[in-house]
Amino acid sequence: MRKKKKIIIITFIILIMLIFVFKSIKYIFLQEDLIFFQLLNSEEKSNNLTKNDSNVTQEISDSRKLNSENLSMKQFTFDVEFKNTKFKDINLYETINQKTLVYEKIAPGTAGNFDIILDSNKKLNYMIQFESKNEKPLNLKFYLAGDETKYDTLEELDDILTGVVSKNEEKVICINWEWCYENDKENNIRDTNDAKEIREYNFLIYVQGY
């Protein structure tokens, strides 16, 4: 009887020990699984943040690039009025791209741009005209943003710079210019002489509403 009782007690103790060991092992596995999923989740968050940061950085970079590309050196604003002509006196040197600046003057290899901005409190037709005040370098060319057609003079733009400005609209017209290096001997001589004789080019911009 005592022997049987002793066996029962020993069996009970072993059973309790097995249950304890089983729970411990299960707990360890649960902890390892928890750590694994925590690490996995952390890595996914890190990748998402990196990806988002990369996208934001790219968007900012693209935005800055776009703004940089669209930014003109100089802007001239005109309030367009019916049967009223307004003008501004411009020195082309004011519109030069500083990266191409040579000896504080326009010269072969320089370039730049400027915006003509039209405002109106009502819908009007407009026309823009130019008047040169002194001789310009022969090989200095003008062209409109988005158009590869080159013009020898600003006055040649008179016929195409017409249109309609709507009420409360801000119409922006960007004009680019460049004085490229020429390769043939005749133009090289001409550029050299123009660079010596012409340090600046001045002109008038007229804007009329009708």
| pLDDT(18) > 90 | no
Instruction: Return the minimum-mean-pLDDT range out of 43-47, 141-145, 194-198.
Output: 43-47
pLDDT of residue 39: 40
Regarding whether 196 and 113 lie in a shared domain, the answer is: yes
Q: Name the helix (H) or strand (E) containing 61.
A: helix 2-70
Query: What phi and psi, each to the nearest 5 degrees, are found at residue 60?
Result: -65, -45
pLDDT of residue 1: 61
Regarding whether 79 and 64 lie in a shared domain, the answer is: no
Whether 191 contacts 182, CB under 8 Å: yes
pLDDT of residue 41: 45
| pLDDT(100) > 70 | yes
Number of domains the chain is built from: 2
Q: Give the mean model confidence (pLDDT) for residues 72-77.
A: 84
End position of a domain, from candidates 46, 71, 96:
71
Regarding whether 158 and 113 lie in a shared domain, the answer is: yes
| pLDDT(121) > 70 | yes
Regarding whether 129 and 197 lie in a shared domain, the answer is: yes
Regarding whether 120 and 138 lie in a shared domain, the answer is: yes
24 pLDDT band, cuts 50/70/90, is: low
Output the CA torsion sign for 164, 86, 128, 90: negative
Regarding whether 153 and 79 lie in a shared domain, the answer is: yes
Q: Is the pTM of this model over 0.85?
A: no
Rounded CA separation 105/201 (Å): 10
Regarding whether 137 and 105 lie in a shared domain, the answer is: yes
End position of a domain, from candidates 71, 100, 116:
71
Regarding whether 30 and 45 lie in a shared domain, the answer is: yes
Q: How many CB atoms lie within 10 A of CB 11?
A: 10
Q: For residues 186 and 128, which has the higher predicted lDDT (pLDDT)?
A: 128
Regarding whether 130 and 36 lie in a shared domain, the answer is: no
Report percent pLDDT > 70 for the chain. Answer: 68
pLDDT of residue 183: 73
Segments forming the whole domain that contains residue 174: 74-209
Q: Facing residues of 117 across strands? A: 77, 172
Regarding whether 24 and 78 lie in a shared domain, the answer is: no
> What residues contact residue 170 under an 8 Å CB cut-off, 6+ apart?
117, 118, 119
Regarding whether 32 and 90 lie in a shared domain, the answer is: no
pLDDT of residue 154: 97
CA 146 from chain centre, in angstroms, equals 16
| pLDDT(91) > 80 | yes
pLDDT of residue 167: 94
Pairing of β 84-91 and β 202-209: antiparallel
Hey, is 12 helix, strand or coil? Answer: helix
End position of a domain, from candidates 54, 71, 88:
71
Rounded CA separation 177/158 (Å): 16
| pLDDT(205) > 70 | yes
Regarding whether 81 and 60 lie in a shared domain, the answer is: no
2 pLDDT band, cuts 50/70/90, is: low
